[in-house]
Amino acid sequence: MEVLIIEDEKPSARRLKRMLEKLDVVVTHTLHSVEESINWFSNNPQPELIFLDIQLSDGLSFEIFDTISITSSVIFTTAYDEYALQAFKLNSIDYLLKPIDQEELEKAVAKYKTFNPKPQQVQMNFEDIKKMLTNPVEREYKKRFTTKIGQHLKMISVDDIECFYSENKGTYAHTTEGRNYLLDTTLEQLETELAPETFFRVNRTFYININAIEDIISYTNSRLQLKLASYKEQDIIVARERVKDFKIWLE
C-alpha cells in the first residue's frame, strides 16, 4: 500500500508517518501545502491512500480537488469539533480526530484494507462540510486565557506563559513574571487550543513553551530534564516515550 500524507504541521506529519510505519504502511511522500500538493499531483502518479489535513498553511485542502481529479482514497485528519465530524459522516468520509490515536489509526487502515476501493474520482460535497466547519479560512489558537483573582478577572497573554501544569486536580499557567494562575481548563483541552509549534506536552503534567526553555539536560532512563527561565518549583522531565517527538519539535 502506497500512502501520501498532506499535513502542514511537520511534527504532526512525522508523528503520523511513524505511527503508520508501525502498521507496516509505507509512506512514500509527505506534502505540506495546497500549492505543493497540486504541483506534486500534476507530476506524479496518485497513491492508493491519502491522509489529508483539512486546514493547510495556504488554504483549505479542498482546493486541491478543485484543480486535480483525485482518484485516491482519502482519510481526513482534523482538529475540528463534532459539528464538522457530522459532516464527514454525512459524506461517508473516513476521518481521524487530532491528536491521532494509534488504535483509531489502526482501525481506519483496517477499514480501508477491508473495503479495498477501486480507483475512482472522489466526489464529495465540500460546501456542506465548509458550512459546518468552525473558522474554515484560518486555524486559530488561543491568544489569551482568563483567570479569576478575588472579584476580578485577569487576562493572561499566551506569549507570557512559560508552561501549563496540573496539580491537585487543577490546571495552572506559570507566567514569565514567576506567578501561577489557576485556569478553568484541563491539559487535554489545551491540546487543541495551543499552537503546536510553540507548546509541547512533555509528560502527563506539563505543557512547555519553547521560548521559555533555557537548558536541556540528559536525565536517567534516556529522558531529558528541562530548565525554564522562571519556573523552579519542581523538576520538568520529558517522558521517555516523548523524547523523540520532543527533539523533532525543537528542529
Q: What is the pLDDT of residues 216-250, one digit of tens each?
A: 999 998 899 999 999 999 999 999 888 988 988 88
| Residue 163 contacts residue 207 (beta carbons within 8 Å) | yes
| Residue 7 contacts residue 29 (beta carbons within 8 Å) | no
For 21-36, how does the pLDDT look when each residue is reduced to its tens digit (9 = 90+)?
Answer: 999 999 999 999 999 9
| Phi (first) and psi of residue 151, to 5 degrees | -95, 10
Residue 134's pLDDT is what?
43
- For the CA atoms of 214, 159, 9, 62, the dihedral, rounded to the nearest 10 degrees, stands at 180
| Residue 174 contacts residue 160 (beta carbons within 8 Å) | no
Look at residue 65 and give its three-state secondary structure: helix
Residue 121's pLDDT is what?
52
Locate the domains of the chain by residue range. 2-132, 144-250
Is the domain spanning 144-250 CATH 3.20.20.80? The answer is: no
> Could you tell me which residues come within 8 angstroms of residue 3 by beta carbon, excluding any fewer than 6 positions away?
20, 25, 26, 27, 28, 47, 48, 49, 50, 51
In this structure, which topology does domain 2-132 adopt according to CATH?
Rossmann fold (3.40.50)
Residue 83's pLDDT is what?
42
- For the CA atoms of 12, 17, 21, 25, the dihedral, rounded to the nearest 10 degrees, stands at 130
Look at residue 71 and give its three-state secondary structure: coil
| Residue 163 contacts residue 228 (beta carbons within 8 Å) | yes
Q: Which amino acid is at 25?
A: V
